[in-house]
Amino acid sequence: MDLIEQLQPDALLFVGDLSDGDLRLVKSITQLSLPVAVLLGNHDRGRDRSGGLLQQQITMLGARHCPWKLREWSEPALAVVGARPCSAGGGFHLSQAVQAVFGPITETQSADWIVAAANRAPEHWPLVVLAHSGPTGLGSAADSPCGRDWKQPHIDWGDRDLAMALDRMQRTRPADLVVFGHMHHQLKGRRGERITFYRDRRGTCFVNAACVPRVGVDESGQPLHHLTWVEFTGIEPSLISHRWYRPSGELIYEQTLLRAAMTGQAPC
């Protein structure tokens, strides 16, 4: 977390799969001094089907964990709506651990709760939907943002409830950005890289942030840390990129996904 303290972004969003239930990492997130929003992933429940380990993490994170909730900051203005936690993709499925913590939630209920949270977001603030798995509808090829790349046939492996919610949100206030993880950038069998950015005809940007491993080394053996970086101008994303940093905060490489004419002041 030293790198984050060096860079001092205005907010930090975690798309889940922090670990296999390592409470030490969760504790380190709670010690960050900047605004944080977290949505836990399917790996975060570990091997515990009872939900006990998952509940421990949720308790530690407190309001930082925002499933089906609105998390917002006024300085800078940013509204973050959490989607369904601990998703493993593939349409809609609740693990035993998730049911133990949250109950027997239906696909429609999940979509309803996402929409209700989004409806509470201030109209003139950037609206970000934070998910673990992305929605259906972004393609069914192996390299699609949520495409199943480990098994034939390659199909759309996104979340239906999230797609339903985003579609309904278009009628009143569409999301400006949907950020998620789960589906690794490197395709299985080393068949290339996943498409990690998509912008629909209504202007919503979709970003897959699941660079795995997030910490690696360059050709000289020096450590590099990956972050997906976003800046807003008003409510419009004006810069979206994948960045690799030295632990000192030095930017080594940037893959630009979107760049508008002007960049704003709200990186997250």
Provide the 3-class DSSP secondary structure of residue 152. Answer: coil
User: Quick one: pLDDT at residue 266?
Assistant: 53
User: Quick one: pLDDT at residue 249?
Assistant: 94
User: Quick one: pLDDT at residue 264?
Assistant: 45
Stretch 20-42: mean pLDDT: 94
Q: How far apart are CA 182 and CA 33, in angstroms?
A: 26
Please write the tens of the pLDDT for every residue from 123-177: 999 999 999 999 999 999 999 999 999 999 999 999 999 999 999 999 999 999 9
Stretch 212-228: mean pLDDT: 91
Stretch 94-98: mean pLDDT: 96
Stretch 202-212: mean pLDDT: 96
In a domain, 265, yes or no: no
User: Quick one: pLDDT at residue 268?
Assistant: 61
The Cα angle at residue 221 between residues 217 and 227, in degrees rounded to 5: 20
Check residues 181 and 260 and name the one with the higher pLDDT.
Answer: 181
In a domain, 170, yes or no: yes
User: Quick one: pLDDT at residue 75?
Assistant: 87
The domain total for the chain is 1
**pTM to 2 decimal places:** 0.94
Residue type, position 167, single letter? D
Residue range(s) defining the domain that contains residue 81: 2-259
In a domain, 219, yes or no: yes
Please write the tens of the pLDDT for every residue from 99-117: 999 999 999 999 999 999 9
In a domain, 267, yes or no: no
In a domain, 242, yes or no: yes
The bridge status of strand 223-233 relative to strand 236-245 is antiparallel
User: Quick one: pLDDT at residue 209?
Assistant: 98
CATH number (domain holding residue 255) = 3.30.750.180
Percent of the chain with pLDDT over 90: 85
Please write the tens of the pLDDT for every residue from 43-56: 999 889 999 999 99
Which tokens belong to 216?
């690696």
User: Quick one: pLDDT at residue 263?
Assistant: 44
The Cα angle at residue 226 between residues 141 and 149, in degrees rounded to 5: 20
In a domain, 264, yes or no: no
Q: How far apart are CA 85 and CA 102, in angstroms?
A: 10
Residue pair 29/13 in contact (Cβ under 8 Å)? The answer is: no
User: Quick one: pLDDT at residue 21?
Assistant: 83
Stretch 31-49: mean pLDDT: 94
Please write the tens of the pLDDT for every residue from 80-93: 999 999 999 999 99
C-alpha separations of 208 from 41, 153, 257 in Å: 14, 21, 11
The Cα angle at residue 150 between residues 13 and 68, in degrees rounded to 5: 30
In a domain, 268, yes or no: no
In a domain, 201, yes or no: yes
Q: How far apart are CA 123 and CA 20, in angstroms?
A: 37
